[in-house]
Amino acid sequence: MDIRNFFSSAQGRKNQKRKQADKSSGDSDSGGEDSKQKNVATASDGVASTSSTVPPAPVPVLLPSSSDTQDKIYCSNDVGQWLGRSYNMTSSQKLEILKNCWIPPPSYDFAKDAVQLKRKFKHSWLAQYAPWLAYSQTLKGALCIYCVLFPPTLTNMQGSFMVRPFTRYKDMHEFAKTHASSQCHKSSATAAKCFVENMPVDVQLISAHQKEIDANKKVLASIISTVIFCGTHDLPLRGKGQHEGVFEDLIKLKIESGDQIMKEHIESGAKNATYTSPRIQNEIIDLCGDVIRDDIIAEVKKAHAYSILADESCDVSGKEQLSIGVRFFDEEKMVVCEEFLGFVELSAMDAKSIASNIDNFFVNTGLYPEKCVGQGYDGCSTMSGKDGGVQKILREKYQKALFFHCASHKLNLVVHDLNQIAVIRNTVTTIKEIIKFFRESGLRRKCVPNIPMFCETRWSQKYKSIAIFKEHYVQVVKALSTLSTDGNNATRKSAFQLHCAATNSEFIVSVCLIAKYSAQLQPIVNALQSKSIDLLQCANHIKRITDTLRKHRETADLQSESLIAEAESIADDLETDLRMPRITNRQTHRANPPAQTPSEFWKRSLMIPYLDSLILSLEQRFSEDNLPAYSLLTLHPHIMLQMSYQDFIKKTEPFCSYYNLSGFLSEAELWYNMWEQKNMAQSELKEMELVALVKETQLFYPAIKQALHISLAQPCTTCTIERSFSTLRRVKTWLRSTMTENRLVGLCMMSAHRKRVLEAQNKFEIEILNRFCQNPRRLLLK
C-alpha cells in the first residue's frame, strides 16, 4: 500500500471530523467573529499538521453526473478537489485551474446537487461574479478560485467560498458582494495576479514546451490541408523534379500569403524535418484514406444490415484493381447509402483469390458477417458461379448474403440479346462504322454534327449516340454521298460503301425501330444508376417498360404503320424508295414472311421479332431468383393489400424463417390491419417508397422495421463501384502510373468522397493529425 494513500485517507477523515464539529457548534454562513476565527484556526491547524508529511498526490476525480447527458464526466479541473490542499499543488496545476477551471454547462441540473436545500445554484451567477466565482461538482457548492488556490493568512477571513462551499443560495448576492470586497479576497486576488505575471521557471518551461508543440502542429495541419486539397481536386502532388509540383507550389503560395509559421519552419527549421518529402506525403495520404474509411465503417456499424459490392477493372499500368464498396440504410439521415471503400490489387483472377481478398478486406474493417445480407456483382461466371463462384465461396461465411446480379448489367445483356436478330445486329454495326468514319478525321467531323462513339462501359451513352444519329440521319447520309465523290481514294471507297449501306431500306427501317425503343430504355438505364434505388423501385421500372412493350406488341399494326411512315419520310428526304425485299418460296438466309404491303412485311420480319426478343429477355433476366429477398417486397402496402391476410402470411414465411425475424408474425397482423384501415387509394400506395415505410415502423413494429432495413440494404446495381473506375482513371494517369497501391487508394478515397471530406474537413484534419503524432517524430509533437 502506498503511504501517500494513507495520508490522503487520514487527511480526509480529519476534514470530515472538522465539518461535523463545525456543524455541531452551530456555525453558519452568517456566524459571528468567533466562529470565523475558529474556522481559520482549524484550517491553519490542518495545514500545519500535514506540512511535515509527504504531500498526497492529486488524484483526478471521476465525478458523478448531474444529468443524463453528462454521465461519467471526467472533471480534473474542478477547484473543489483542491479545497484545503492547495499546498500540494504544483505551479502548472495552479495555472491550469486559473485558466481552465471547470464550468458547468448551461444544461447542468443543479437541482440534483441541492436535494436537501430549498434553493439551487443559478448558472447566471458564474458570469455575474466572474472571474473569481466557481461551482464545484465535487462539493456541490460555490467557491472562490483565488481564495482556494491562494488562501489568505488573515485571521478575519470568512469561512464560505474559502474553507467550505457556499450553499445558502437565498443570500447569494449579499455574501458574494461581501466576499468580493473583503480584505482576504483582495489579498488572494493579488497573489493570483502576481503568480500569473511572474510565472515560476517550471511553468515557463512547460509553457515554452507546449508552445513549440502547438507551433509544430500548426505546421503539420497546414501540410495536411494541402495534401487534402490536392487529393480532393485530383491534382498531382509531385512534379518532374524533386522540388516541383502542385504540393510544393501550394506551400510557397501559403508562405507568400502570410503564413509566418510555415515560412519560419521552411526557412529556419531543420532540413531533415521539413515534412514535405514524398515519404511523408504517402503517409499522410494513407492516413487520409484510413480516416475516411473508418468514418464510413462507423456509419455501417450502426445499421441493421449491409451488402457487399465489388467489381474489377484494369488500371493504366496493367494492374487488376478490385473495387470494393458497401450498401446500407442510414436510419439517422433516412437515406440509402452506397459507399466506395477502396481498391485491392489482385495477384490472381480466380474465384478463390477474389473471395479471399474481399473477405480479408471486410475482416479488417471489423464488420459483423451476420449483418451481411447481400452481394452485388456482375454476371461473369467467376463472380456469379453457383458452384465455384465468388458469391458461393463467400456464402459459406456470410450465410445470409444472397447474390444479386447487377440490374444495369442485366439490362445491357437484354440489349445484347437483340443481336440474335441479324438485321438489328448489322444495323448497329453499320452505325458504329459510320460514326467512327467521321470521327477519324478532323475534316470529316466538320461535315456532320458531333456524334459520340458507342461506349462499352457507359451504356446510357449508347442510347444517346443512337438518338443523335437518328436526329441527323439525313445530314449524315448526304455527307457520305459528297465524300464518296470529292474525297481522296481511301475516303471515297469507305464513304461509298457506307452510303450504300445507309440508304438500304432495311437499314432505314431498323434505325427508326432501334431509336424508338432506345429512347424508352434510356430513362430506365439512368434510373438504375441511382444510389438510393431499391428492389421494389427496380422491379417497378422493369415492369413498367415490359408492360409498355407488351402493349406495342398487341397493337403491332398501329405501331408498324407509324414506323413505316417515319421511315418513308426519311427515304423521301434522301430521294430514295422504301422497298421491301423480293419474296421467294425457297429463301432461307433472310426474313421472308408472306406479305402484301411493305407495312405488313416490316411488321412480320422486323418489328414483331424485335419486340418478342426484348420482352422475353426482360422476363428471363429479371425473374425473381432470390425468393427471400423478393418476398420482402410483400410488406409494401400496395402489394400486401392485393392479397388476403392468409396469403400475406404465407408469402412472408420465406424471409421470416430465412432471416430469423423474432416476433414478426405477431406484428404482421397489426401491420396488415393498419394499412387496411387507412383506406388509401392504390395509386397513392403505389408511389410510396420503402424509406417512407420505415418511418411508420419507428415505435410499434421492430421486426418489420428490421425486415425493411434488410430490403433497403440489398443491392440492385453496382453503379457506385463502376463510378470508382472513373475516379481510378482520373487519379492514375499515364504520367502517374508508377504510384504505390496505398497512395493510389488514399487519393481515390479523397477524390470519391470529396463532398464528405469538404463538409467536415476540420474534423478529418484533426483526426489525421492525431494519428500522425502518435509515432515518434523528429519534430516535437507530444
The strand ranges marked E within 188-334 are 306-314, 320-330
Under a CB-based contact definition with an 8 Å cutoff, are residues 578 and 508 in contact?
yes
3 state DSSP class of 546 = helix
* Res. 45: pLDDT tops 50: no
Q: Which three cell numbers stand for residue 182?
A: 473583503
Q: Which residue has the higher pLDDT, 39 or 732?
A: 732
Q: Are strands 402-405 and 372-377 parallel, antiparallel or unpaired?
A: parallel
pLDDT at 709 over 50: yes
- Is residue 594 situated within a structural domain? yes
pLDDT of the residue at 290: 93
Q: In percent, how much of the chain has pLDDT > 90?
A: 22
- C-alpha cell read off for 80: 473543489
Q: Which of 87-91, 522-526, 580-584 has the lowest mean pLDDT?
A: 580-584
User: Does any domain span residue 273?
Assistant: yes
Q: What is the pLDDT of residues 524-533, one digit of tens each?
A: 777 777 776 7
pLDDT attached to residue 749 = 94
470 phi and psi angles, rounded to 5 deg: -65, -40
395-445 confidence digits (pLDDT tens):
999 988 888 888 888 887 887 777 778 888 888 889 889 998 998 888 888
Cβ(114)–Cβ(99) below 8 Å: no
**pLDDT band, very low/low/confident/very high, at 28 (cuts 50, 70, 90):** very low
Q: Residue with C-alpha cell 464545484?
A: 136
- Specify the range with the lowest mean pLDDT, choosing from 159-173, 291-305, 649-663, 748-762: 649-663
What domain count does the chain have?
4
Q: Are residues 319 and 419 in the same domain?
A: no
Cβ pair 235, 741 in contact under 8 A: no
Q: How large is the C-alpha radius of gyration of the chain?
A: 39
**Same domain for 175 and 213:** no
Minimal CA–CA distance to 430: which of 498, 490, 500, 503?
A: 498
Cβ(423)–Cβ(506) under 8 Å?
Answer: yes
Same domain, 135 and 265: no
Does residue 262 sit in the same domain as residue 377? yes
Tell whether 726 is covered by a domain.
Answer: no
Structural domain that includes position 514: 412-577+589-621
Q: Where are the beta strands (DSSP E) in 315-455?
A: 320-330, 335-346, 372-377, 402-405
Same domain membership, residue 690 and residue 738: no
Kindly list the distances between the CA atom of residue 709 and the CA atoms of 75, 111, 332, in Å, as whole numbers in the listed order: 40, 42, 13
Q: Is it the case that residue 21 has pLDDT exceeding 50?
A: no
User: What pLDDT score was predicted for residue 287?
Assistant: 94
**Interval 112-135 mean pLDDT:** 90
Mean pLDDT of the chain: 81
> When comparing pLDDT for 633 and 134, which is higher?
134
Instruction: Say how far apart CA 480 and CA 346 lie, in whole Å.
Output: 47
Picking from 713, 745, 760, the residue at the C-terminal end of a domain is 713
Whether 407 maps to a domain, the answer reads no
Both 684 and 699 in one domain: the answer is: yes
Domain boundary among 569, 603, 621: 621
Q: Is residue 641 exposed (0-12), middle (13-18) or buried (19+ Cβ within 10 Å)?
A: middle
C-alpha cell at position 592: 421472308
Mean pLDDT within 183-211? 77
Of 591-600, 684-693, 696-705, the least confident: 591-600
Residue pair 323/311 in contact by the 8 Å Cβ criterion = yes
Does 682 share its domain with 759?
Answer: no
> Strand locations in 438-574, DSSP E?
none
For residue 48, give the nearest of 78, 16, 14 by alpha carbon.
Answer: 14
The whole-number average pLDDT for the span 520-524 is 78
In this structure, the answer to whether residues 185 and 246 fall within a common structural domain is no
- For residues 245 and 295, state if they share a domain: yes
195 lies in the same domain as 215: no
Q: Are 122 and 27 part of one and the same domain?
A: yes
C-alpha cell recorded at residue 288: 487520409
Strand order through the sheet with 306-314: 335-346, 320-330, 306-314, 372-377, 402-405
Examine residue 406 and state whether it is found in any structural domain, yes or no: no
Q: How confident is the model at residue 751 (pLDDT cuts 50, 70, 90)?
A: very high
Phi-psi region of 397 (alpha: psi -120 to 50; beta: other; left: phi over 0): alpha
Residue 326 pLDDT > 90: yes
What are the angstrom distances between the C-alpha of 51 and each of 11, 18, 45, 538, 782?
A: 12, 18, 10, 80, 35
Distance (Å, whole) CA 724 – CA 729: 9
The percent of residues above 70 in pLDDT, for the chain, comes to 84
**Residues of 508-536 as b/e, b for ≥16 C-beta within 10 angstroms?**
bbbbbbbbbbbeebbebbebbbeeebbbb
In DSSP notation, 701-726 reads -HHHHHHHHHHHHS-S--HHHHHHHH
Contacts for 624-628: CB closer than 8 Å, 24+ residues apart: 625/405, 626/402, 626/403, 626/404, 627/654, 628/402, 628/654, 628/655, 628/658, 628/659
Question: Which of these three, 199, 230, 260, is where a domain ends?
Answer: 199
- Specify the DSSP class assigned to residue 771: H
State whether 610 and 631 are in the same domain. no
Cell numbers describing residue 573: 428526304
- Quote the cell numbers at residue 224: 495536411
Q: Is residue 191 part of a domain?
A: yes
Q: What is the pLDDT of residues 140-157, one digit of tens each?
A: 999 999 999 988 875 555
How many residues in total does the chain contain? 782
Q: Give the pLDDT band (50/70/90) at residue 128.
A: very high
In a domain, 345, yes or no: yes
pLDDT(51) > 50: no
Question: 473543489: which residue's cell?
Answer: 80
Q: Are 433 and 426 in contact (CB under 8 A)?
A: no
Q: Is residue 583 part of a domain?
A: no
